[in-house]
A and B are shown apart, each in its own frame.
Chain A
Amino acid sequence: MRTISFKNKPVIVATGTTSGPKEGLGEVGKYIDYVSKDDTFGEKTFEKAETKMLYTSIKQALEFSKIKEEDINAIISGDLLNQIIASTFSARNFNIGFLGVYNACASFTESLILGATFLDGGYFNNVICATSSHFSSAERQYRYPLELGCTRPPLSQWTVTGAGALVLSNKGNGPKIVGATIGKIIDYGVSDTNNMCAAMAPCAMDVIKTHFIETNTSPKDYDLIITGDLGAFGSRLLKDLLWEKGFDIQKQHVDCGELIYNIKEDEFQGGSGAGCSSLVFCSYFYNKLKLKKLNRILLVSTGALLSSVSSQQNETIPGIAHLVEVEC
């Protein structure tokens, strides 16, 4: 069994979201709390910009929740930078316990699962879960300098410049986390670093399938099944893979990466990054859940666990996906 069902059902009492200008232009942009006019957020480096973005999101979530800083037990957060510096550096501004997580782009659901478990066990009363990513800081770490004149292959994705934070509490009103399924690391031997969606699709398939089987539900029981950053091609792979296993999620499935941009320039497959699922979930979907337009959803963040070193040493790309079930 990899599925947890929470008895006390932790409540998402508030969210805070921050993004760069490009993300503000899309469909999701209207729901984001703070859209910056420039992607440096007034800082000198992109790493500092990401830190500020995450800090702003956490601060906003904290303000909206009307819970005092000293009543928060822990911040659980992660990002894509080496040694998750955006998370740790933004958390040093708070007088709150800190847990750093890393599961690449699946960090958001991982932090949600951990936070919900702490609350459900009765150890903590309030927890903040957050993740962030920044296009320019990710680009310089994983790929090429920004000004290098090279083309992007059609399978590439665009790392989302954005951060999302939410406050989980054991009391209050709002959407509740009712269950979760922990994913396992799956590697089908994809080695193309531009094709991360193909590396992540099998993990999403596995975790969704496991959740259906272990909770004895079917796709029809959910209003939406939201994946993190599979992109257009990855979504197609996921639907095919699940269809092969006997689950048809054609009607329920949406992908945060596909949703976030008006694909015009060269985002190609859509958004990706640790901030993708947290930004879209904390803004757009949280809003819909609060208005009760959605009742029962699955959030599946997917992550490709590669580093620039592993891919240069000819390793294949393992993937991970965690699932969280949210009800309003």
Chain B
Amino acid sequence: MKNSQNFINQNYLTYVHYNSPKTKEKRSLLRAFWVGGVICCIGQGFRYLLEFGLGLKGDELSGFVSMIMIFLGSLLTGLGVYDRIGKYAGGGSIVPITGFANSVVSPAMEFKTEGYIYGLAAKMFVIAGPIIVFGVASSVLVGLIYFVGYLIF
């Protein structure tokens, strides 16, 4: 039996590659830049507000800002606005923490129809799962490097 590799028709693939419509890179980058920037500015705005208004400091401050941004991301997802922002901005709305909230809330909403346990709860981390796994793994790795570096120097 042949496997997938045997079927490759390189001439056709090259032809398809050169003729297929391409993503408009400059436009996408510009949109991602300004929307992503605005999201970060909002975050920074909350930071100043909490820092100078409520006098929060350090971990407390960054924790609070994250919570507000996650809440806003989730709320906008629930209202059906965030996917429109994402459609326009691409990476600009995926990279900030609001994008992470969106990636957790959207499958939770979608799979609610299959019940709260096997649907909502089980499928909640379908998209965010890999981010958490590799995020935790890489933070452990970086921590180890930092620790070893601290012992040596």
A→B interface (CB under 8 Å): 44-46, 140, 144-155, 187-191, 195, 198, 202, 233, 236-237, 240, 266, 268, 314-316, 318
Report the separation of the CA atoms of residues A188 and B14 in the bound assembly, to the nearest whole angstrom.
11
Which listed residue (B16, B28, B109) contacts A145, Cβ 8 A? B109
Is the Cβ of A155 less than 8 Å from the Cβ of B21? yes
Please choose the segment from B47-55, B59-67, B100-108, B136-144 that sits at the chain A interface, where 4 or more of its residues have CB less than 8 A away.
B100-108
Q: Is B94 at the interface (CB under 8 A from chain A)?
A: yes
Q: Contact: A237 with B7, CB < 8 Å?
A: no
Min C-beta distance of B105 to chain A, whole Å: 7
Q: When the two chains form their complex, are residues A189 and B99 in contact, meaning their CB atoms are under 8 A apart? A: no
- In the bound complex, do residue B94 and residue A150 qualify as a contact, i.e. CB atoms below 8 Å apart? yes
**Smallest beta-carbon distance A131→chain B, Å:** 23
Q: For window 103-117 of chain B, which residues contact chain A by CB distance below 8 Å? A: 103, 105-107, 109-111, 113
B105:A149 contact, CB within 8 angstroms: no
Q: Are A154 and B21 in contact (CB under 8 A)?
A: yes
Q: Which residues on B sit within 8 Å (CB–CB) of A155?
A: 20-21
Q: Are B7 and A198 in contact (CB under 8 A)?
A: no
Chain A residues positioned under 8 Å from B21 (CB to CB) = 154-155, 233, 268
User: Is there an interface contact between B22 and A154, defined as CB atoms closer than 8 Å?
Assistant: yes
A-B contact count (CB 8 A): 100
27 contacting pairs across A/B (C-beta < 8 A): A46-B113, A140-B111, A145-B106, A147-B80, A147-B106, A147-B109, A147-B110, A149-B83, A149-B85, A149-B93, A149-B94, A149-B106, A150-B90, A151-B87, A155-B20, A155-B21, A187-B4, A187-B7, A188-B12, A189-B7, A189-B10, A190-B13, A191-B4, A233-B21, A237-B19, A266-B87, A316-B8
B31 to chain A, nearest CB (A): 9
User: How many residues on B have C-beta within 8 angstroms of the other chain's C-beta atoms?
Assistant: 39
Closest chain A residue, CB of each to CB of B87: A151
Interface pair A195/B16, CB less than 8 Å apart: yes
CA distance A80 to B102 in the complex (A): 27
B70 CB, min distance to chain A CBs, angstroms: 14
Decide if B7 touches A188 in the complex (CB within 8 Å).
Answer: yes
**A-contact bits for B69-93, CB 8 A (1 contact / 0 none):** 0000000010010111111011001
> B127 contacts A144, CB within 8 Å?
yes
A154, B23: Cβ atoms under 8 Å? yes
Min CB distance A190 to B, Å, is: 7
The complex places the Cα of A48 from the Cα of B99 at a distance, in Å, of 30
Chain B's nearest CB lies how many Å from the CB of A300? 19
Report A-chain residues with C-beta under 8 Å of the C-beta of B86. Answer: 148-151
A154-B21, A195-B20 known; A147 and B105 CB under 8 Å?
A: yes
12 A-B pairs besides A145-B107, A233-B21 with CB distance below 8 A are: A44-B113, A145-B111, A148-B103, A148-B127, A149-B86, A149-B102, A150-B87, A150-B94, A189-B13, A202-B12, A237-B16, A266-B87
Contact B110 A151, beta carbon cutoff 8 Å = no
Given the known interface contacts A188-B12, A202-B12, A236-B19, the answer about A147 and B28 at a Cβ–Cβ threshold of 8 Å is no
The reply to whether A153 and B23 form a contact with Cβ atoms under 8 Å apart is yes
Bound Cα distance from A316 to B22, whole angstroms = 21
A149 near B23 with CB under 8 A, answer no
